[in-house]
């Protein structure tokens, strides 16, 4: 959520920032109008409330002295004031609700450093590593869904039979590889990040905190009977962990990581890029997360990016890093780096991590503050997140990249300790 005070004092700057995303700014204007009215009404209401309080004290005193008849006159006055107060109060509350619901749908302001542009074509490629299109042998040009069938390590057909399209099932060495990736993803960040295993089904309020609701309700699975939501990413419960709390500056940065399943309806994406593991409704992911002070944020953003990229690099996968253009940054982010791996069999770049700096946008929604060591009062924290390891697409890239001439899969050295010494998945036969 944006800062209403900033909207009041510098509406043009806010609108200019929002416009960089290609988003309409009409909600901002609407908010300004409603806010002006709400404050005028609020002041009037507060004055009346103060008067009622004064009168009530007098009434109390009069009753004590046994002068009830004098009190009844004051009571009548106060009753009238009370009616007025109620009307004003209702109006102010109504305005407040309107303002909040408008504000909840406005995205974060992109950082001034984020590249201009509205589509993914405007993203800036920061670096490419380990990628040489000419280097791939024909046996590496087999898509993972075919490899999965051939080796019995990925069973999409049966998964679809039990759950519908865009679900997958890992089997045998494939399932073990998945588990290895998760442990690898967690262990390499254990030096600085606390491991958390949060609930994966959460309340509406929790989804609002990160910005996934109300705007993106269609993208999430909703358990209607209990009004609970299946999380699309561990970012949701991790943000909520300290919702409503005031942290000590000494506790910052607070680094957390979590492995969870993630659930996404992927509304509107049926049919495109959905084969195999390219896009699935349920997947495993290790998420890296941090709360910090505004001063620490930039360094933290770099740290998470480096950790996420390091995990990919150490698996020996070709990848590139993109600095997302304003229009391609998700709602809560101010600046986002994407990491994409190259899958030679599927012949495309696959997004495996989105490292976002959300400034105080989520903190404001979830009401997470810190008490500065120097000075007084409280300040909103900054929140940052990024996938430390998103399983399906990394799994796909490993299997395609590692495929050898005989059809066996060479497994990255970094994973060997997590595979009980297994160094390759044998060819079919």
Residue 284 CB, nearest approach to RNA (Å)? 20
Helix axes 173-187, 144-151, angle to 10 degrees: 120
Nearer to RNA, 191 or 227 (CB): 227
Stretch that binds RNA, among 23-31, 173-181, 265-273, 369-377 (CB under 7 A): 369-377
What is the Cα–Cα distance from 233 to 263, expressed in whole angstroms?
Answer: 7
Nearer to RNA, 1 or 280 (CB): 1
# binding residues, RNA (CB under 7 A): 31
Binding mask of the shown chain, residues 239 to 278, with x at each position contacting RNA by CB under 7 A = -------x--------------------------------
Phi/psi at 177 (5° precision) = -60, -40
State yes or no: cis peptide before 91, omega within 30 of 0: no
Sheet containing strand 369-371, strands side by side: 246-248, 369-371, 379-380
What is the Cα–Cα distance from 180 to 420, expressed in whole angstroms?
Answer: 9
Q: What does the buried/exposed string (b/e) look like for 46-73 if buried means 16 or more CB atoms within 10 Å of the residue's CB?
A: eebeeebeebeeebeebeeeeeeeebee
What is the Cα–Cα distance from 131 to 321, expressed in whole angstroms?
Answer: 12
Nearer to RNA, 279 or 369 (CB): 369
Residue 3 CB, nearest approach to RNA (Å)? 9
Residue 398 CB, nearest approach to RNA (Å)? 32
154, 144 Cβ separation under 8 angstroms? yes
User: Three-class SS of residue 218?
Assistant: helix
- The token pair at 239 is 């943000």
Residue 78 CB, nearest approach to RNA (Å)? 3
Nearer to RNA, 85 or 235 (CB): 85
CA distance readout (Å), 174 to 32, 153, 158: 55, 4, 15
Nearer to RNA, 79 or 161 (CB): 79
Residue 83 CB, nearest approach to RNA (Å)? 9
Nearer to RNA, 93 or 146 (CB): 93
Binding mask of the shown chain, residues 80 to 119, with x at each position contacting RNA by CB under 7 A = --x----------x--------------------------
Question: Can you name the residues that pair with 340 across neighbouring β-strands?
Answer: 320, 351
Nearer to RNA, 60 or 172 (CB): 60
- The token pair at 151 is 């080796």
Q: Which of residues 39-68 bind RNA (CB under 7 A)?
A: 39, 42-43, 46-47, 49-50, 52-53, 55-57, 59-61, 63-64
- Dihedral sign, Cα of residue 360, residue 361, residue 362, residue 364: positive
From 66, 133, 138, 377, residue interacting with RNA (rule: CB under 7 A): 377
- The token pair at 73 is 């006159």
Nearer to RNA, 236 or 311 (CB): 236
**In the complex, which residues of this chain contact RNA (CB under 7 A)?**
4-5, 39, 42-43, 46-47, 49-50, 52-53, 55-57, 59-61, 63-64, 71, 75, 78-79, 82, 93, 246, 369, 371, 376-378
């Amino acid at each position: 959520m944006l800062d209403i005070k900033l909207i009041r004092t510098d509406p043009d700057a806010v609108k200019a920032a929002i416009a960089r995303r290609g988003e309409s700014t009409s909600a901002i204007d609407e908010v300004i109008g409603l806010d002006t009215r709400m404050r005028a009404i609020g002041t009037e209401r507060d004055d009346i409330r103060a008067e009622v309080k004064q009168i009530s004290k007098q009434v109390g005193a009069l009753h004590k002295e046994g002068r009830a008849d004098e009190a009844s006159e004051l009571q009548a006055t106060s009753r009238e004031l009370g009616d007025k107060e109620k009307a004003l109060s209702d109006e102010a509350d109504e305005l407040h609700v309107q303002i909040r619901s408008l504000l909840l749908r406005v995205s974060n302001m992109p950082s001034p450093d984020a590249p201009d542009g509205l589509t993914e074509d405007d993203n800036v490629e920061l670096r490419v590593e380990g990628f040489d299109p000419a280097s791939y042998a024909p046996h590496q040009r087999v898509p993972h869904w075919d490899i999965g069938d051939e080796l019995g390590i990925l069973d999409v057909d049966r998964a679809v039979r039990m759950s519908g399209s865009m679900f997958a099932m890992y089997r045998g060495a494939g399932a073990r590889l998945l588990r290895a990736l998760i442990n690898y993803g967690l262990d390499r960040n254990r030096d600085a990040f606390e491991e958390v295993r949060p609930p994966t089904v959460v309340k509406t309020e929790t989804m609002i905190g990160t910005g996934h609701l109300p705007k993106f309700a269609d993208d999430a699975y909703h358990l209607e009977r209990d009004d609970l939501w299946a999380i699309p990413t561990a970012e949701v419960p991790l943000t909520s962990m300290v919702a409503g709390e005031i942290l000590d500056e000494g506790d910052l940065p607070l680094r957390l990581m979590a492995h969870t399943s993630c659930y996404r309806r992927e509304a509107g994406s049926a049919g495109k890029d959905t084969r195999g593991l390219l896009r699935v409704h349920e997947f495993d992911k290790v998420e890296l997360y941090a709360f910090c002070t505004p001063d620490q944020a930039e360094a933290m953003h770099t740290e998470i990016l480096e950790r996420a990229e390091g995990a990919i690099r150490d698996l020996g996968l070709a990848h590139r890093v993109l600095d997302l253009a304003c229009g391609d940054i998700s709602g809560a982010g101010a600046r986002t780096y994407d990491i994409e791996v190259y899958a030679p069999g599927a012949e495309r770049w696959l997004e495996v991590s989105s490292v976002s700096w959300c400034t105080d946008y989520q903190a404001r929604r979830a009401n997470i503050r810190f008490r500065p060591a120097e000075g007084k009062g409280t300040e909103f924290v900054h929140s940052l997140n990024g996938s430390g390891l998103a399983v399906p697409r990394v799994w796909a890239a490993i299997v395609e990249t590692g495929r050898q001439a005989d059809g066996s899969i060479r497994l990255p050295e970094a994973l060997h300790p997590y595979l009980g010494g297994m160094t390759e998945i044998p060819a079919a036969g």
